Structure 1
Amino acid sequence: MAKTALYNMEGKTIGEVELSDEIFAAPINEAAMHLMVRSYLAAQRQGTQSSLTRGEVRGGGRKIYRQKGTGNARHHGNRAPQFKHGGVVFAPKPRDYDLAVNKKVRRLAFKSAMTTKLNAGEIIVVDKLELKDAKTKLMAETLKKLQAEKKALVILPEREESIIRATANLPQAKVSYVNTLNVYDILNADKLVMTVAAKESVEEVYA
C-alpha cells in the first residue's frame, strides 16, 4: 500500500499512514480529469443570457419605403440586424450548459486526481484538526506550520463549525467535505490537508 507521512497540528511528523492503492495509486487518466474539470466549470455558468431577435424587437411592422424606384436596397421593416435598434443575429437564449459525465468516468477522474496529488507530494494527512476558538488567526497559523499557507483545500469527514468559521476569511484556503469533493477543487489546490478520519472516509466512499 502507498504510504505518506502523518503530521500533527504543529507540522511535526509523528509517523506514517497507509493509503489505499485503489485511490492513491491508481492509473492516471488525464482525459477523465479534463472532462470533469470542463463539466464542473460548465455547471457554474448560469446560462441566463438573452437577446431579442428581429422577430422579437418591438416595432418595425410597416415597410420603411416602397420596394422599387428609390435606388436603395430592398427592405421591409427597420428592425433587421443592420438597423439601429434592430434585432440580434443568432441572439443568445437561456440554455443549460451542464455536461453529463457517467459515474465510472467521475470515479476514474477522482482517483487520478488523488494519485496525481500524492505523486507530487501535495497531500498532507493530519492526525486531527481542532481549534480552541473559531478564529482565523489560529487556522492561518496551523496551515503555515503544515506548509499549506498558499492555496489549501482542507478536507473534513463532516461539518465542523469551528474549522469552517476560522477558514472563511482566508482567501487562500477552502473547506470541503468528503461527500462534496470534486476534481476541480482537488487539482486547483496547491496542498490537500485532510485528517485521518477524512482519509478513511474517502477510502470508504470512493474505493
Structure 2
Amino acid sequence: MTKYQMINVEGNPVEEIELNDSIFNVEINEHVVYLVVKNILANKRQGTQSAKTRSEVRGGGRKPWRQKGTGRARQGSIRSPQWRGGGIVFAPKPRDYSYTTPKKVRRLAMKSVLTSKVQEKELIVVDNFVMDAPKTKEFAGYLKAMGAQNKALFVTADGDVNATKSARNIKNVAVSTVDTLNVYDILKYDSLILTKDALDKVVEVYN
C-alpha cells in the first residue's frame, strides 16, 4: 500500500492514508491512455457537418455550351465541382463518430492516469467537504488552501449541488462525480481533488 497524506479544506494534514496499489501504483500504459482519450474525443464530436454534392446544388440543368466547335473545354453542367458555385467533391455528410473501447482497456487507462497523478503529486485527498450554500469566494479559498493548481478537478462521491454551483464561475475549475469521471478530464486538469468518500468509491469501482 502506498502512503499518502490526507488534508482538510484548510490545507492542514489530517492523517496518512493507504492508497490501493492495484489502482494508484500500476505500470503506466501511455498507449492505452491514448486510445481511451481518442475514443472520448471522438464520442464528443457532433458529426453534423454537411456540404452539397453536384446533385444537390441549385441550377445547372442544361449544358452550358455545345460539345464541339467552341474552342473551349467541354462542359456538362455549370454546377460541376470545377465551377464557382458548383458542388463539393466527396462532400462531408452527417455521420456518427462514436465507438466503444473494451472495458478492460478503459479500466487500465483510468488506473494509469490515477497513478500518474500520485507520482506527480497532483492528487489531493480531502477528509471532508461540506458547504451549506453555494459561495464562489469560499470555494476558491478552499482550493487555494488545499494547494490546487490553476486547473483543478474536484470529485465528489455523489453530486454536490453547492460545490457545483460554487465552481461554476471559477475559470478552469470543474466539479465531477466518480460516476462521470473519465481519463480525458483527469489529464485535462492539473490537480485532481478527491473527497474521502470519492476515494473510497473509486477503490470500490476499479478494484
> What TM-score does the superposition give when structure 2 sets the normalisation length?
0.97
Counterpart for residue 193 of structure 2: 193
Counterpart for residue 125 of structure 2: 125
CA distance in 2, matches of 1:51, 1:174: 36
Q: How does 1:36-115 map to 2 (within 5 A)?
A: 36-115=36-115
Counterpart for residue 147 of structure 2: 147
Counterpart for residue 32 of structure 1: 32
Counterpart for residue 181 of structure 1: 181
CA distance in 2, matches of 1:112, 1:149: 21
Where does the alignment leave 5 or more consecutive residues of structure 2 unmatched? Answer: none
Structure 1 residue 100: Cα displacement: 2.3
Counterpart for residue 13 of structure 1: 13
95-104 or 157-166: bigger deviation? 95-104
CA distance in 1, matches of 2:82, 2:11: 66
Instruction: Give the 3-state SS of the residue equivalent to 2:179 in structure 1.
Output: helix
Instruction: Give the 3-state SS of the residue equivalent to 2:17 in structure 1.
Output: strand
**2:9–2:142 Cα contact (<8 Å) kept:** yes
Q: How many residue pairs align between the two structures?
A: 207
Q: Percent identity?
A: 49
Where does the alignment leave 5 or more consecutive residues of structure 1 unmatched? Answer: none
| Deviations 1:97-146, CA, capped at 9 Å, x for gaps | 22421111000100001001101011000101112431000100000001
RMSD: 1.0
Tell me the amino acid that sits aligned with residue 194 of structure 1: L
Structure 1 residue 198: Cα displacement: 0.5
Q: Which runs of 4+ in 1 moved over 3 A?
A: none
**1:54–1:87 Cα contact (<8 Å) kept:** yes
CA distance in 2, matches of 1:99, 1:3: 38
Instruction: Give the 3-state SS of the residue equivalent to 1:176 in structure 2.
Output: strand
CA distance in 2, matches of 1:104, 1:201: 18
Tell me the amino acid that sits aligned with residue 2 of structure 2: A
**1:148–1:191 Cα contact (<8 Å) kept:** yes
CA distance in 2, matches of 1:150, 1:34: 24
Structure 1 residue 149: Cα displacement: 4.4
Instruction: Give the 3-state SS of the residue equivalent to 1:71 in structure 2.
Output: coil
CA distance in 2, matches of 1:19, 1:77: 70
Instruction: Give the 3-state SS of the residue equivalent to 1:163 in structure 2.
Output: helix
